[in-house]
Structure 1
């Protein structure tokens, strides 16, 4: 007689043991997971044993003083993370719908620091019942697989979907702190009248190996000015655009700034364009707004996108860029 064939269990896994598993897998500690989940260590251990019995697999190698994931544990961890993140995001949306209105925005750190956040106070004065949650990092978020409502991105036109709204284009210009510019004009510091004078100055360069970094480089700007081989007194390599601007404001270096992000600082006199409009060059990249599918159905998200569109129009005017015909805050791209 043949032995009975083992049939795997078909019932769904309970969410409690999965929570316990995720915490232990992330912390690699039963006691730390128990503290995080407000459970006893024995309760967490029982949930993990229950899960292992349900799966018929060992998820952790347990040592005297350490815990390690097995191959099956690693496989389950990757799946559980995605499931719990999506579940938690949906729960937050449901809770938000019954409480204060919240708009979730993702963008890159320099755009958040230099363009978006300085404008938010005005919006929130007009909409005191609406909260804006800004997630600022360089990781591209999938709008259709997250809780994000709006993405503000930086890319060339061919890299954007047809639903993207173009906010404004890119213009690059050298900027310096007003004190440095005044010292140079008075002859108390190296001259700063033409591109060749940059040999005597420190240049803040974006330390970015991505293709878009080529458009933001001093090498490209110097080549357009007829000085492709010019070497400054020294280079200052920085990771983010806002760091370069801080270096310029403090007089430590001259930065090649993204004009849309610093035009208000120029107007207030916090920065100076030593070469004026003649030092400006264009870039094929631009700034874009995208709405998620779920965001399009929420009035507060549409309202915030409309406001972003209004602010973008002001930036276009400030940098001397014509308004695109038929701009639509809900998404039609104009480029």
Structure 2
């Protein structure tokens, strides 16, 4: 299923304590090309800061819904996060070239992710990050040369709640293997604990993964659901990455409508104030109003969640700015 609310509901609620650590600058390596990290920011090849304001699209389960790219763009998004399958559990998605073309046609930055890794170690059907890297290697011909337009999100929520500590080595090895195979793209790595990092493994060991990237061109992605149901839990997590000097985005989040769900209003306000990108889950396909932004992919039927993230304070229409690469083509 697309997104397991049962897993999200089972996640322990915990405020995330900030960690103040002095670390070296995270300026981009000279070899970085296209979208890359400068300091804590994502920047384009021309040095212009790019702040993701985007929406996830469940492409692997709804491959015929290609109109979603244009519809997502029409909401003011500058980024679409596209769900792909490696073939281990879903897919394989062999239409990557067409997906990238759809993103470019609609002037969107394309975050491509392998969803099969979701909850590895807890979900027996999940793929490893190493298997996800093998998928990317198989798609290399469709991705090389697209560094201005494509971010590779190596694997969605790659570790569950069982032994989340394995995330550090697995993620560092995945990043090294991507670079060894010639990928120069901006890489995105999701946190363990189904993306929520409640045990703070990513927060506390992100520097190890950063150091594993020979290009220093990796952005860390936290998914904010039930663990982040207070303002303090959100701000302390953001503060931790600020104090570490490492780049962060909110790669997924949903709608707060009950005390046990994410405080989306604080999340968006803080992201805007701090220049942090966010990608909402998702355009459609969950059959749950907390997660679907539209009814049955219809852009004229926004749900309450869709109205909040798209038209609300600090939402996508108010804060999204198109990537400058599309102004110079």
- TM-score tier, shorter chain, comes to under 0.3
Give the TM-score normalised by the residue count of structure 2. 0.23
Q: Of the two, which has the highest radius of gyration? A: 1
Larger RCO: 1 or 2 (CA < 8 Å, sep 6+): 2
Structure ranking higher in helix proportion: 1
